Amino acid sequence: MDNISFALNELVSCLASTPPLDLKGMGLLREQPHLISGTARIPRPQLVEAVTEIVAYTGRCAAAARSLANLTPVPLLSVSLGEFGL
């Protein structure tokens, strides 16, 4: 396998280029910022769908975080990380 080399700024750039997830609830808040004050009237089915999506997304993020926390370290023998002197 060829030696792979990347820098921290390349990793940051890669992660920053990931497009944000467009959740329905966040779209509603962008369109109607007064939702937070409780003065907006949104059809109940639309609100239920948006809240359900956010709750499900939060659950998926928590599950992913738990999975990542339990990963066994894998030695990357062919990767060079200049920031860490490796």
Tell me: the pLDDT tens digits for 7-38? 778 878 888 998 888 899 888 888 877 766 66
Report pLDDT digits (tens) over 36-56: 666 667 888 988 999 999 999
What domain count does the chain have? 1
50 with 23: CB under 8 angstroms?
A: yes
Q: Is the pTM of this model over 0.75?
A: no
Domain of residue 34 covers 4-84
Q: How many CB atoms lie within 10 A of CB 50?
A: 19
SS3 call for 49: helix
Decide if pLDDT at 4 tops 70.
Answer: no
DSSP string, 59-82: HHHHHHHHHHHTPPP---TTEEEG
